[in-house]
Structure 1
Amino acid sequence: MKQAPIPARLGYVRHGNGPERVLVLHDWLGDHRNYDAVLPYLDGSAFTYVFADLRGYGESIALTGACSVEEIAADCLALADRLGWPRFHLIGHSMTGMAVQRIAADAPARIQRAVAVCPVSAAGNRLDADAKAFFASTAENDDALRRLFRYVSGGLSARWADVKLQQNRSAVSAACRAGYLDMLVHTDFVDDVRGLDIELLVIVGDKDPGLDEAAMRRTFLAWHPRARLLVVPNCGHYPMQECPPCFATVVEAFLRGEGQGLLDPAQAKPKVQAAE
């Protein structure tokens, strides 16, 4: 029998003091600061946001562990308990899109609404040997990491890549990088999430080369009967940094339950794509 993870006390940053509680998670390459550009556009009177750092990142950089999705879920649920949040909204980005599904599968009654941003799914990201070696090399090779940041953002500037590089090097522990990469490549818990009846918004950028609309339709929208998809134009893998006012607008509209309050970029009118 697999031993349950022992939760750690994750560090976090809080924003706002509203009655709606939102737990926000980051990607493999950055910490809670990924969301700094969004903060001025968030409604702190309606929402309380807690931007959590996973083990090995940011406010939790000294914490070590198994770097598994089960551990992430246990840590996040323990954090919600510490905060006194019996129910809450949940946002995950890229790597933690997978964690959104794990948390919702483990504690469905606690999740009000969930947002998965450019997410890796419960099926993992099956990188071949060369691709995995490249991703692994970004832990030490600055040029490789710069290339990765520019590639997933649709070719943003070298200065953008430098800023992202500096954030990564200051906020991500070397000890956790390989562990989380293995989690992304080898994890598969699809059977646990098929038919999971949570209200879920999936956001992707139209310039994200890997985690695109087609991938979302094969995974999140195929498995979750109440999933919706929003494709953000002229945007890559980091919509919270590439187009922060848009990101804040569509996320808060969804969390408020305004199902038709999501941006239609062609007409600037509300629209959302539902799963077929």
Structure 2
Amino acid sequence: MKAPLEIRPASHAGLGYVRHGHGPVPVLVLHDWLGDHANYDALLPWLDGQAFTHVFADLRGYGLSMALAGEFTVKEIAADCLALADRLGWRRFHVLGHSMTGMVTQRLAADAPSRIASAIAVCPVSAAGNRLGPEALAFFASTADDDDALRRLFKFVGGGLPDEWVEQKVRHHREAVAPACRRRYLDMLVTADFADEVRGLDTPFLVVVGDRDPGLDAEAMKHTFLAWHPNAELRVVPDCGHYPMQQHPSYFAGVGEGFLKRQAALA
């Protein structure tokens, strides 16, 4: 039986979110720069709602939080996540971040180590940020307004996903991401650098990458997450680009929940 869903729009109290399941293990799930909580829709049928409660949060400017203004910084995201956990009554929880929010898992582990039971970082940008040269930065910035540039970006990171997937991603991005936040979060991605604050953190980390991700691959992880976190492990999803939760949802759910169940058993 499919676990129930609760949809809660953002308000003065904080971020909007979708809740799935009613299990005893709480998991906060965060999206990437290009999408909102709907990134994980394909994953829902494969989740164990008896064991876990997954809350898929939308950051300021996205989806259910599209109307929320802000500073659009990694510190603000982490503070918003902790405030949401407080609203949910979660004293200690697990966190999953994808791409842009990979660094948020590290920010949370640094800011509130007693509250983060473990973290899953999926195709993640690290606490060192994603430094881009002038030409690459100009291209990424152009995707905020140029549908063709955004289409090329999705095609590039998709790892072989079809054109129909690319077109759906472009449409959803334009509907679910506020124009005002697009460049601000990009600025965060390329300027953030708090690596010195996360080195040596003993939070258990699972790092998941696709073998076809063109930039955030296993080699990049060896020099960031795996080098900095003594309790980090790496899983590579075969035949996969930057969106394993969409390309191989059942496999992704098995890998992630297997890790979480191991961590819960150790608690």
Coarse TM-score class (shorter-chain normalised): over 0.9
Q: Quick one: which of 199, 210, 214 aligns to 1:194? A: 199
Correspondence for 1:60 = 65
Q: Which runs of 4+ in 1 moved over 6 A?
A: none
Task: Give 1:114's aligned residue.
Answer: 119
Equivalent position to 1:223, from 210, 217, 228: 228
1:140 aligns with 2:127: no
* Structure 1 gap ranges (5+): 1-6, 260-276
Offset at 1:258? 7.0
Identity of aligned residues (%): 69
Change (3 A) 1:192 1:258: closer
How far apart are 1:8 and its partner, in Å? Answer: 6.2
Gaps of at least 5 residues in structure 2 are 1-11
Q: What code does the residue aligned with 2:142 have?
A: S
Residue in structure 2 matched with residue 90 of structure 1 by the alignment: 95
Q: Secondary structure at the match of 1:119?
A: coil
CA separation of 1:231/1:195 partners in 2, compared to 1, >3 Å: closer, same or farther?
same
Deviation at 1:156, TM superposition (A): 2.0
Shift of 1:20: 0.4
Matches within 5 A, 1:119-268: 119-257=124-262
Tell me, what secondary structure is at the counterpart of 2:22? coil
Aligned length: 253
Taking the aligned partners of 2:192 and 2:124, their CA distance within structure 1 comes to 14
Deviates more, 1:139-148 or 1:199-208: 139-148
- Looking at structure 2, the residues matched to 227 and 93 of structure 1 have their Cα atoms a distance apart, in angstroms, of 16
CA distance in 1, matches of 2:134, 2:85: 37
RMSD between aligned alpha carbons? 1.2
* Conserved? CA contact 1:28–1:95, under 8 Å: yes
- Secondary structure at 1:108 match in 2: coil
Deviation at 1:256, TM superposition (A): 0.2
Deviations 1:24-49 (A, max 9, x none): 00000000000000000000011000
Which of 97, 100, 106 lines up with 1:101 in the alignment? 106
Distance in 2 of aligned mates of 1:258 and 1:151? 34
1:71 is paired with a residue of what secondary structure? helix
- Residue in structure 2 matched with residue 23 of structure 1 by the alignment: 28
- Residue by residue, what CA displacement relative to the aligned partner does 1:116-147 show, whole Å, maximum 9, x if unpaired? 00000000000111101101111111111111
Check whether the contact 1:201–1:227 (CA below 8 A) recurs between aligned residues.
yes
Q: 1:44 aligns with which of 42, 45, 49?
A: 49
Quick one: distance in 1 between partners of 2:241 and 2:172?
Answer: 18
Deviations 1:137-181 (A, max 9, x none): 111111111111111112322111001111101110000001100
* Conserved 8 A contact 2:21-2:54: yes
The TM-score normalised by the length of structure 1 is 0.90
Letter of the structure 2 residue corresponding to residue 175 of structure 1:
A
